[in-house]
Amino acid sequence: MTRRSFLATGAAASAAIGTPMILRAQPSEYVFGSSLPMTGPFATAGQLVAPALKMFEDLANEDGGIGGVPIRTTAEDSGYIPQNALANYQRALATEPNLVYYYGDSTGFMKLVAPELRGENARLMGSTSFASELAKPEENPYQYLAGPSYEDQFDILLESIANQGGSTVAFIYSNTEFGRDPLESGRAKAEELGIEVVLEESTKAQGADIPTHVTKLAQSNAEYCILQGYVTGVWPQLIGGARQFGLPTKFMGTFWGMEKLIADRVTAEAGPFLDGYLGVMPYRYSYDNDNAPRYARYAEYQKKNFAGTPLENYMPTWGLQSLCAMELGLMALRQVHEEGKELTADNAAEALASIQNWESGGFFGVPVSMQGNKIGTGRVYQYSAETNLFTPASDWFTV
């Protein structure tokens, strides 16, 4: 074979099988889409998260985007309605040809969109949810949790109770899928640790009958009470009602009951009854930034670009979760590119699953790994009404 015939044959073969990935024209940008509740009951969270996504975009592009191609983040309002978020995702697929990642606003959306994540419609997808059922790669290969599931969070709290010598606990939860998520697993974990569950009490997600529930808690004589399935409103009211009743019960919460902005507002308006409140956080708070280069970089950006807003000196827990999810997604996509593979959902999911011993630069206080599409690590924090800070009350747990 002559050199000329060899080159001709190679050109014909390339035409037949498609241009190799390394030779294809790169897009001008990659898109990270999202649905956020900019209106509706959780509008405050959505409005605080949206600027954090812009920060993520700017810093990611300072570091070269994905293989030198910049990323662009988008955020559409869902009103916290799963059907709206699904419509946003479908619209993004139709209008953003370089969409490589999507961030959802709820468990409801993640479950609704799951059947559509097939073939060309599949994208790597993080969300605000810690729902245990999403951490099942065999069923939801493209969806993941940027931290521990609600079952894991219950395990961490129960381990903490056992370490403090506690023997009885109450579970008070909202009558929602969110509220019921970790109950079965929590019962089993409590039994394993020798902790008796003396009360399981369901409440309305909003407008709960606080005196009735507090009375039942008093009758149970529980040393500890874990509150699950609340974001605003009910969980501080339950603690306030118990304190008015004179109960010495130690209250604990999961991620959505651990926002400093809410605790500070309740303390300012109703007094220091949240003092001593405990709860599990997957991440360090943004002010807990010793030896945290990623957090330090965020803080520098916030002071410069968010001056005069609530984000100038503090990143809410909701924002930390979104940032952590997108950092993980970006890491996976960069790995796919570095391996010379196409940025498909399958390749991204495979790369995500391979993340081991990640030094997160701030989010987690220990190296963490993806196991079963989640990171089962967290720490217990305690609130001080005097300092208005959540501070560590335990070591890091990995479950």
Residue 188 lies in a domain: yes
pLDDT of residue 25: 65
Considering the domain architecture, whether residues 105 and 183 belong to the same structural domain is answered as no
Q: In this structure, which amino acid lies at residue 160?
A: S
Considering the domain architecture, whether residues 144 and 154 belong to the same structural domain is answered as no
pLDDT of residue 6: 34
- Residue 49 to residue 75: CA distance in whole angstroms: 10
Considering the domain architecture, whether residues 87 and 203 belong to the same structural domain is answered as no
What's the length of the chain? 399
Residue 1 lies in a domain: no
Residue 46 lies in a domain: yes
CATH label of the domain that carries residue 393: 3.40.50.2300
Considering the domain architecture, whether residues 209 and 67 belong to the same structural domain is answered as no
- Residue 65 to residue 57: CA distance in whole angstroms: 8
pLDDT of residue 10: 37
- Residue 333 to residue 356: CA distance in whole angstroms: 15
* Phi, psi (rounded to 5 degrees) for 268: -65, -35
Residue 115 lies in a domain: yes
Considering the domain architecture, whether residues 322 and 276 belong to the same structural domain is answered as no
Residue 255 lies in a domain: yes
Q: What is the maximum span of the chain, computed from C-alpha positions, in angstroms? A: 94
Considering the domain architecture, whether residues 263 and 313 belong to the same structural domain is answered as no
Considering the domain architecture, whether residues 345 and 326 belong to the same structural domain is answered as yes
pLDDT of residue 205: 87
User: pTM value?
Assistant: 0.90
Considering the domain architecture, whether residues 252 and 385 belong to the same structural domain is answered as yes
Residue 20 lies in a domain: no
Residue 8 lies in a domain: no
Considering the domain architecture, whether residues 385 and 266 belong to the same structural domain is answered as yes
Instruction: Going from the first residue of the chain to its last (399 residues), give the mean pLDDT of each consecutive group of 10, the final group possibly shorter.
Output: 38 37 69 95 87 97 98 96 97 97 95 95 96 93 97 97 97 93 97 98 93 98 96 90 97 96 95 97 95 96 95 96 98 98 97 97 97 96 98 94
Residue 4 lies in a domain: no
Considering the domain architecture, whether residues 230 and 315 belong to the same structural domain is answered as no
Considering the domain architecture, whether residues 140 and 161 belong to the same structural domain is answered as no
Considering the domain architecture, whether residues 306 and 362 belong to the same structural domain is answered as yes
> How many domains does the structure of the chain reveal?
2
Three-state secondary structure along 69-81?
A: ECEEECCEECCCC
- Provide the residue range defining the domain that includes 266: 150-281+379-398
